[in-house]
């Protein structure tokens, strides 16, 4: 089973998937690292300090790496909803996200761009449009450990084929930061 952990940068995907990796029960593909290591991009956007991933090559590489001896393979990336049919979208209140992104020494423009994407539910909306099953998980005010536990609960439900209650609990649309003041 291939599961994407997606969300705006800073919502905690890497922190949480590193915890999940320690369980040794999951294969975890940290896609952004892979894209950089294997140069799976078509362009370097030096102005925005990022790369433009070549999604066809990325997709093929994930399929190659997908090790079916693991019951679950997790793809960690804000691009994972382009690849997996089942995704967990991590969300963070923009006021909290701002603090996390500022610690990375991002430019104010890049911080605002990401906060706006989070407040406008961009990744959630894409996930709902493209993926079969979407769980929305709010990490605001939660520890990474608790977020990991919630993800493990969702994975357990998926493996047991019993997701009705989880789909209700983590229903897309449960957070609303539309009124976040940007200026």
Ligand X SMILES: Nc1ncnc2c1ncn2[C@@H]1O[C@H](COP(=O)(O)OP(=O)(O)OP(=O)(O)O)[C@@H](O)[C@H]1O
Q: Which residues bind ligand X (CB under 6 A)?
A: 7, 9-16, 32, 78, 100, 139, 142-144, 147
Q: State the nearest-atom distance from the C-beta of 178 to ligand X, in Å.
A: 21
Q: State the nearest-atom distance from the C-beta of 161 to ligand X, in Å.
A: 27
Q: What is the largest CA-CA distance in the chain?
A: 50
Nearer to ligand X, 68 or 103 (CB): 103
Q: What angle do CA 93, 133, 94 make, to 5 degrees?
A: 10
Q: State the nearest-atom distance from the C-beta of 63 to ligand X, in Å.
A: 22
Nearer to ligand X, 13 or 81 (CB): 13
Helices H / strands E in the chain, number of each = 8, 7
Q: Take residue 170 and report the two structure tokens written for it.
A: 């983590």
Residues in the chain: 183
Provide CB contacts within 8 A for 14, sequence distance 6+: 30, 32, 76
Nearer to ligand X, 45 or 162 (CB): 45
Residue nearest to ligand X (CB): 12
């Amino acid at each position: 089973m291939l599961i994407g952990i997606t969300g705006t940068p800073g919502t905690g995907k890497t922190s949480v998937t590193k915890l999940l990796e320690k369980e040794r029960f999951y294969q975890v593909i940290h896609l952004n690292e892979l894209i950089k290591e294997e140069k799976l991009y078509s362009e370097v956007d030096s102005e925005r300090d990022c790369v433009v991933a070549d999604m066809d090559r990325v997709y093929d590489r994930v399929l190659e790496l997908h090790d079916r001896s693991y019951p679950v393979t997790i793809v960690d990336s804000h691009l994972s909803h382009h690849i997996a049919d089942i995704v967990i979208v991590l969300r963070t209140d923009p006021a909290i996200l701002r603090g996390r992104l500022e610690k990375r020494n991002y430019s104010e423009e890049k911080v605002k761009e990401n906060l706006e994407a989070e407040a406008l539910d961009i990744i959630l909306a894409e996930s709902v449009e493209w993926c079969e099953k979407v769980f929305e998980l709010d990490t605001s005010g939660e520890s990474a450990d608790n977020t990991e536990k919630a993800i493990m609960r969702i994975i357990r439900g998926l493996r047991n084929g019993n997701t009705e209650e989880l789909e209700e609990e983590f229903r897309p649309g449960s957070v609303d930061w539309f009124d976040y003041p940007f200026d």
